[in-house]
Amino acid sequence: MSETPPPIDRLPDERARAPRPMAKPGILDITPYKPGKATAEGIENPAKLSGNENILGCSEKARDAYVAAAGQLNVYPDGRGGVLRDAIARRYDLEPDRLVLGCGTDEILHLINQTFLEPGDNIVQGQYAFGAYGIGARACQAQVRSAAEPNHRIDIDLMLELVDERTRLVFITNPANPTGTFTTRDELARLHAALPPGVVLVIDAAYAEFCTDPTFTDGLELARTAENVIVTHTFSKLHGLAALRVGWAYAPLPIADAIDRIRPPFNVSIPALDAAVASLADEDFQARSLAHVERWRPWLTQQLGGLGLPVTPSGGNFVLVEIPRTTGRTAEGAEAYLAARGLIVRGVANYGLPDHIRITIGLEEHNRALADALADFLRA
Ligand SMILES: Cc1ncc(COP(=O)(O)O)c(C=O)c1O
């Protein structure tokens, strides 16, 4: 005769009392990354201006290369990503062996954190830093230290004050997201000179191609000779290949070698490698993408400023706009109002900016619609 087993919570033995699977300490304290919204309720084809993607799409040559790669879906990619590695090295005059290719910069940032951080270490970043740095650091049980950014700008001295003997990584986004501000060549050099040689300076240059100010640098010139500087770049922004997930880092050889040991071996797919190579060669598309941002970024800055909405000067393909409380309106209200008009922008309260919205530079029609809609919003 079979007996019905007792319910699990009444099991008297040790098995019932044994702990259940648990994430490592700290993991459940991590606030998950919140991507920009992609839909607006009741609107069929909204303009997505929330993800800092390339509003012009991507290079046709990149698309052709992607389609052509469909004939090779059954094979693994070259784990070294040789064709892309060599193309990047040629284009930027870099040593191929010092490059690390990743499934987006996102993966590279995680790999950097995993390579350097032990529990109890810390990273130093700006107050409004891109969320991925802190997520990866916390996953390694490291502490995240954020220096105040007066006027939405990195302050080198405030960052240096937070560096101590357990600091392993210092992150600078240049230009920064979501603020759009940038750190100058001189400031970067001063920061680097003041850091202990054992601390790695990571310069995330995801938006660098959009910043043409003569005092700006993506950090590659510093990284060429320094033993502790990593620069990351992405194909997601200027090249418009965000869906394919391709990023790269330039690091000192021993660091590139260390990161490569934990990199998943086939992390960049064949369609992604081929499309990125084709895009790199399509200088016309890159020039058009930059020209578009250079045309409309000042226009939006001026128009929104004219409505009494402060816009932080931006070196990226987006602008950070304040909805001052004195207007009697809120940033959340602006986001909802614009969404109802088919314009999806990004609320940035999760970055500690509850009174701001971030707007990716759109097509002419989007930018004009935005300026009109915000004028109506303030009147409503
Ligand atoms: C500052 C910054 N770094 C890195 C990334 C991630 O880029 P990727 O698409 O290469 O992972 C983004 C994406 O928005 C970003 O804004």
At 37, the pLDDT band (50, 70, 90 cuts) reads: confident
Q: Which of 234, 320, 350 to mutate to test the pocket of ligand 1 (most atoms within 8 A of CB)?
A: 234
At 34, the pLDDT band (50, 70, 90 cuts) reads: confident
Instruction: Return the ligand 1 atom nearest residue 103 CA.
Output: 11
Question: Which residue carries 């109890």 as its tokens?
Answer: 120
pLDDT at 20 over 90: no
- Tens digit of each residue's pLDDT (9 = 90 or more) over 185-195: 999 999 999 99
Mean pLDDT of the chain: 95
Burial class (CB in 10 A: 0-12, 13-18, 19+), 18: exposed
Return the pLDDT at 10.
Answer: 67
Q: How far is the CA of 21 from the centre of ligand 1 (A)?
A: 32
Return the pLDDT at 67.
Answer: 98
Q: Percentages helix, strand, coil for the chain, rounded to the nearest 5?
A: 45, 15, 40
Ligand 1 binding pocket includes 111 (Cβ within 6 Å): no
Return the pLDDT at 3.
Answer: 73
Q: How many helices (H) and strands (E) does the chain have?
A: 13, 13
Return the pLDDT at 9.
Answer: 64
Which of 35-44, 164-173, 205-214, 249-258 comes out lowest in average pLDDT?
35-44
Ligand 1 binding pocket includes 177 (Cβ within 6 Å): yes
Return the pLDDT at 41.
Answer: 84
Of 153 and 37, more confident: 153
Instruction: Return the ligand 1 atom nearest residue 107 CA.
Output: 11
Q: Compute the distance between CA of residue 199 and CA of residue 168 in angstroms, rounded to an integer.
A: 5
Q: How far is the CA of 316 from the centre of ligand 1 (A)?
A: 12
pLDDT at 39 over 90: no
At 368, the pLDDT band (50, 70, 90 cuts) reads: very high
At 5, the pLDDT band (50, 70, 90 cuts) reads: confident
Ligand 1 binding pocket includes 179 (Cβ within 6 Å): no
Angle, vertex CA 47, rays to CA 41 and CA 49, nearest 5: 105
pTM for the full predicted model: 0.94
Return the pLDDT at 320.
Answer: 98
At 310, the pLDDT band (50, 70, 90 cuts) reads: very high
- Tens digit of each residue's pLDDT (9 = 90 or more) over 56-108: 999 999 999 999 999 999 999 999 999 999 999 999 999 999 999 999 999 99
Return the pLDDT at 2.
Answer: 61
pLDDT at 1 over 80: no
Q: How far is the CA of 233 from the centre of ligand 1 (A)?
A: 9
Ligand 1 binding pocket includes 318 (Cβ within 6 Å): no
Q: How far is the CA of 367 from the centre of ligand 1 (A)?
A: 23
Ligand 1 binding pocket includes 105 (Cβ within 6 Å): yes
Instruction: Return the ligand 1 atom nearest residue 207 CA.
Output: 1
Q: How far is the CA of 325 from the centre of ligand 1 (A)?
A: 30
- Tens digit of each residue's pLDDT (9 = 90 or more) over 217-230: 999 999 999 999 99
- Tens digit of each residue's pLDDT (9 = 90 or more) over 103-158: 999 999 999 999 999 999 999 999 999 999 999 999 999 999 999 999 999 999 99
Name the token pair of 56. 């012009």
Return the pLDDT at 4.
Answer: 76
Return the pLDDT at 32.
Answer: 85
Of 40 and 379, more confident: 379
90, 96, 98, 103 alpha-carbon torsion, rounded to 10°: 90
Ligand 1 binding pocket includes 260 (Cβ within 6 Å): no
At 38, the pLDDT band (50, 70, 90 cuts) reads: confident
Q: Which distant-in-sequence residues (6+ apart) come within 8 Å of 330 by Cβ?
A: 323, 355
pLDDT at 379 over 60: yes
Q: Compute the distance between CA of residue 60 and CA of residue 35 in angstroms, rounded to an integer.
A: 27
Question: Mean of the pLDDT values across residues 255-282?
Answer: 98
Ligand 1 binding pocket includes 50 (Cβ within 6 Å): no
Ligand 1 binding pocket includes 204 (Cβ within 6 Å): yes
Return the pLDDT at 8.
Answer: 64
